[in-house]
């Protein structure tokens, strides 16, 4: 019998998410500085008589178990490319919040892709795997590579970003998710309402912040705290005004920076060290402004075979 393959893939926070105007294809050009953080989903691939998805973990009931699951789509895409049948059981041990702006589905897609590639011995090159990742979603290539990277285009064109130390983070997990397309739409609506325009023809190209990249390179948490930014934050707050209370609670507890993670509603807090992170997490939990709070560190590795 073929042994199961287990792959772990990380969640992300966007330390800079600069959003350009709406493109004719419905996406936005980004200068997206991704940082992989140490919260992981684990995908186990086992040979089966058909494609089957199961999920476990506290949020498992929110994970689709049909072909809409990004892990299933990853297996199907790899099988199609190599003329194989996607006869595999993918079990997702889910620890990344669902629809939380932390790329949980993308992590599962990258993990499933690597797991099936290993299980089936397809031997796809890194470039081929990245190509399939980009077809599956804008965040998926980063889930495969991890660490830190600048995503251009719709976020799928990655350039490595150097990091010089460990950053300590707290994530406040909200009740219920936010749909990514709705948050981008709200961003467009707010821009149009403010009179600045919202199309790619009207807005300048988004650019990465030199100060932010330098802070990552030198491992300087204070400098990073001063440089983080998220152009989707106003839209996430507009759709979920209570997130302002969560951000305030973390800041009052001593976080060096507080921002919405990607499209939200998870809020991310940078802390000076592990102890400070724990203080912020405890304060967030007792504030009642989130469902739970998790502490972790970054950068974390990308999708990795662990067994």
Ligand X SMILES: Nc1ncnc2c1ncn2[C@@H]1O[C@H](COP(=O)(O)OP(=O)(O)OP(=O)(O)O)[C@@H](O)[C@H]1O
Q: Is 105 in the site for ligand X (CB under 6 A)?
A: yes
97 a known binding residue?
yes
Cβ proximity to ligand X: between 136 and 271 the closer is 136
52-83 per-residue burial string, b: 16 or more CB within 10 A, e: under 16: ebebebebeeebeeeeebbbbbbbbbbbeeee
| Catalytic choice (12, 29, 108, 117) | 12
Q: x-or-dash pattern for ligand X, window 169-198, by CB under 6 A?
A: --------x--x------------------
Contact between 266 and ligand CDM per CB under 6 A: no
Q: By CB under 6 A, what part of segment 252-271 binds ligand X? A: 262-263
| Partner whose footprint covers residue 71, from ligand CDM, ligand X, none (CB < 5 to 8 Å by kind) | ligand X
Cα distances (Å, whole numbers) of residue 46 to 78, 88, 191: 15, 6, 47
Residues 147, 302: contact at Cβ < 8 Å? yes
Rule CB under 6 A: is residue 27 a binding residue for ligand CDM? Answer: yes
Q: Is 36 a residue that touches ligand X (CB under 6 A)?
A: no
Question: Can 12 be counted among the known catalytic residues?
Answer: yes
21 annotated to bind ligand: no
**Cα 250 from chain centre:** 21
**Residue from 146, 208, 262, 302 binding ligand CDM (CB under 6 A):** 262
Taking residues 64 to 83 in sequence order and writing x for each that binds ligand X by CB under 6 A, - otherwise, the string is: x---xxxx------------
Of the candidate spans 2-10, 91-99, 216-224, 268-276, the one that interacts with ligand X by CB under 6 A turns out to be 91-99
**Are 163 and 212 within 8 A, CB to CB?**
no
Residue 98 or 221: which CB sits closer to ligand X?
A: 98
Among 106, 233, 246, 289, binds ligand CDM (CB under 6 A): 106
Binding footprint of ligand CDM on the chain (CB under 6 A): 14, 17, 26-28, 30, 32, 103, 106, 137-139, 154-155, 180-181, 184, 262-263
Q: Which residues are identified as catalytic?
A: 12, 139
């Amino acid at each position: 019998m073929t042994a199961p393959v287990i792959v772990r893939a990380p969640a992300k926070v966007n330390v800079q998410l600069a959003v350009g105007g709406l493109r004719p294809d419905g996406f936005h050009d980004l200068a997206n500085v991704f940082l992989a953080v140490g919260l992981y989903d684990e995908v186990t691939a086992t040979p089966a008589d058909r494609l089957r998805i199961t999920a476990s973990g506290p949020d498992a009931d929110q994970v689709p178990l049909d072909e809409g699951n990004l892990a299933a789509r990853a297996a199907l895409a790899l099988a199609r490319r190599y003329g194989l049948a996607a006869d595999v059981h993918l079990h997702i041990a889910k620890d990344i919040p669902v629809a939380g702006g932390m790329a949980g589905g993308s992590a599962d897609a990258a993990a499933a892709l690597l797991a099936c590639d290993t299980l089936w011995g397809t031997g796809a090159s890194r470039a081929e795997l990245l190509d399939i990742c980009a077809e599956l979603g804008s965040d998926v290539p980063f889930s495969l590579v991890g660490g830190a990277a600048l995503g251009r285009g719709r976020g799928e064109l990655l350039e490595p970003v150097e990091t010089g130390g460990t950053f300590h983070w707290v994530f406040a997990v909200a009740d219920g998710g936010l749909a990514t397309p709705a948050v981008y739409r709200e961003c467009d609506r707010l821009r149009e309402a403010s009179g600045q325009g919202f199309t790619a023809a009207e807005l300048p190209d988004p650019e990465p912040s030199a100060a932010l990249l330098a802070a990552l390179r030198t491992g300087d948490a204070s400098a990073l705290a001063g440089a983080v930014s998220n152009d989707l934050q106003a839209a996430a707050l507009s759709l979920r005004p209570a997130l302002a209370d969560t951000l305030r609670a973390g800041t009052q507890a001593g976080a060096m920076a507080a921002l919405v993670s990607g499209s939200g509603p998870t809020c991310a807090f940078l802390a000076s060290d592990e102890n400070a992170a724990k203080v912020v997490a405890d304060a967030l939990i007792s504030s009642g402004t989130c469902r739970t709070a998790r502490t972790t560190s970054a950068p974390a590795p990308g999708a990795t075979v662990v067994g």
